[in-house]
Amino acid sequence: MLSGVHSYVLQGIDALPCEVELDLDDVATPDESRKSTIVGLPDTGVKEAIERVKSALANSGYSWPRGRAVINLAPADVRKEGPVYDLPIAVGALLVQGVIAGASGRPRFKGRLAKDAQAPSENGAPREPLDYRRYVFAGELALDGRLRAIRGVIALAAMAKRTGALGVIVPADNAAEAAVVPGIEVYGARTLNEVVGLLTGNLDVDPVPTPDIESLLQSAAAPVDFADVRGQESVKRAIIVAAAGGHNILMLGPAGTGKTMMAKALPGVLPPLTADEAVEITRIYSAAGQLAPGQGLITQRPVRSPHHTASGAAVVGGGMIPRPGEISLAHRGVLFMDELPEFPRDVLETLRQPLEDHVVTIARSHSAVRFPANFMLVAAMNPTPKGDVAPGEVGQRAMERYLSRLSGPLLDRIDIHVEAPAVPWKELSQAPRGTTSAQMREQTMRARSIQQARQGATTPNARLSGRQLDELAPMDEPARSMLGRAMTELGLSARAYDKVRRVSRTIADLEGSATVGVPHVAEAIQYRLLDRKL
């Protein structure tokens, strides 16, 4: 006896179709009946599914089929991991026993539905059972038959839609996430018995409705407002420039000057998420298991702040079956790296390629996975390990030693270096509220609209190539002369030269100027702080 149930394989943040086949040899001897096996490159978590499913079936009023069962996860050349196959294996086991009807015939129902889930249809007639062949199943089973949340359900829903499935049946905690994908039916089940009720017509529930994504995004608000940051108006100006052009920024200053607070407030200055961006971010968080139970959508630009003891795999991503790291979890948002020189040198160097390409590729012997990593790097550091600068030559040497922990190629990839000085007591105690996030966002959006009209919505100034800069960032002769002198006196690299031009283009956009002039270039050069100190 043979059954087949549709499920999925999660590769990176994408889902691939997987068929869970169960072949039952019901003439096996009692000894052979205990030799059920799973094939198709399963990991340990998948192999343990048989024992979980047996207990879940027994505690839900069913039994594991007698005989030897061979469970195949196709395609067999793709590695499978995790407990996502518990539910499809259980459905396959019930199919071969006739608890759920196969190709035809009314099934018999043996399980125990929850009392509040035994409602007939409105006209009193039995509900039409769902055709299991048109649905994709995934979920982890507890030993008592409850369904637990799994990873990658939004990718599963997208795959189901792409392959022509009618809908998905997933744990209730994942239903809101799957419902973000329009055009498919999403059923969330709390127990195995509810799944059986859906497939037998004994459970009358409607699919989870698709949420209004635009309304969810409009109601999202940043947790920190820049008005709460006293002083630091020059740093706020640099942050406006960074947000307007999508530039990376490094803040240098003693401890306690508000660097961390400003990094957390930055999403309130960036343009609001679009629906496509929100779904893209949610896919990454779902694949990494970072969504809270019942959470359907990420509505704010993420801010990720890894500790300086984090490993390269934690920051970039990795594992036997690769999972997203911090740089991918910061996609379309902010990666905040506090105390930048305290990170291991090898971890910092792994950022160089993602900062340029905005993707990270993790290669393994069996496959290579690409994760998106289009983030703004916001770094902060103290001038010395002690957090301040001692006066005189001794203090200068201490600062130079500390700065030497950062490589030149990495600093070249950070567009803006700005000093965040200590705020005087008078400003802290008496100064009125400074520039607000709303005011800063207004300037940002105005500059972004200029960029969008000039070069398209997907290319901020920070990603303009040298050839595009020649065309889109024309400089007058005095500005070009000033930049040439700065290149010579500061010893800027060719990469830093383009960084200055990109930042100058953004400053000109903030002022509504079509041509890059001397004031724009002068301000951009001021943002190469560490080039001057080194």
Domains of the chain listed by start with CATH number: 2-200 (3.30.230.10), 218-437+445-453 (3.40.50.300), 464-534 (1.10.8)
Cα dihedral: 291, 292, 294, 296 (round 10):
-30
- From CA 258, how far away is CA 422, in angstroms rounded? 9
What pLDDT sits at residue 103? 40
- From CA 71, how far away is CA 69, in angstroms rounded? 6
Percent of the chain with pLDDT over 90: 62
Q: What is the mean pLDDT of residues 475-494?
A: 89
First to last CA, the chain: 74
pLDDT-wise least confident of 59-63, 146-150, 422-426: 422-426
Please tell me the number of Cα atoms within 13 Å of 504 on its side-chain side.
Answer: 29
In angstroms, what is the C-alpha Rg of the chain? Answer: 28
- From CA 172, how far away is CA 350, in angstroms rounded? 38
- pLDDT, one tens digit per residue, over 18-64 is 999 999 886 655 554 457 899 999 999 899 999 999 999 999 999 99
- From CA 91, how far away is CA 57, in angstroms rounded? 10
* Residue with the two structure tokens 């290319």: 459
Please provide residue 169's backbone torsions phi and psi, each rounded to the nearest 5 degrees. -120, 115
What pLDDT sits at residue 114? 41
Best CA proximity match to 530, nearest among 408, 423, 422, 420: 408
Confirm if 436 and 269 have CB atoms less than 8 A apart. no
Instruction: Give 383 or 521, the one with higher predicted confidence.
Output: 521
- From CA 483, how far away is CA 492, in angstroms rounded? 10
Tokens coding 219: 């109601």
Tokens coding 518: 């001397």
Please provide residue 8's backbone torsions phi and psi, each rounded to the nearest 5 degrees. -150, 165
- pLDDT, one tens digit per residue, over 169-200 is 999 999 999 999 999 999 999 999 999 999 99
* Banded pLDDT at 116 (limits 50, 70, 90): very low
Q: Bin 272: left if φ > 0, else alpha if -120 < ψ < 50, else beta.
A: beta
CA 271 to each of CA 215, 279, 473, 477: distance values in angstroms, whole numbers, following the listed order: 16, 16, 22, 33
Of 122-136, 150-164, 218-232, 362-376, highest mean pLDDT: 150-164
| Per-residue exposure over 140-169, b if at least 16 CB sit within 10 Å of its own CB, e if not | bbbeebbbebbbbbbbbbbbbbeeebebbb
* Banded pLDDT at 347 (limits 50, 70, 90): very high
Q: What is the mean pLDDT of residues 71-98?
A: 94
Confirm if 202 and 127 have CB atoms less than 8 A apart. yes
Please count the residues of the chain: 534
Question: pTM for this one?
Answer: 0.87
What pLDDT sits at residue 388? 72
The DSSP code for 391 is S
- Type of residue at 253: G
* Residue with the two structure tokens 């019930």: 94
Helices 275-287 and 153-162: crossing angle in degrees, nearest 10, is 120
CA 411 to each of CA 225, 278, 414: distance values in angstroms, whole numbers, following the listed order: 28, 30, 5
H or E stretch at 326? helix 326-329
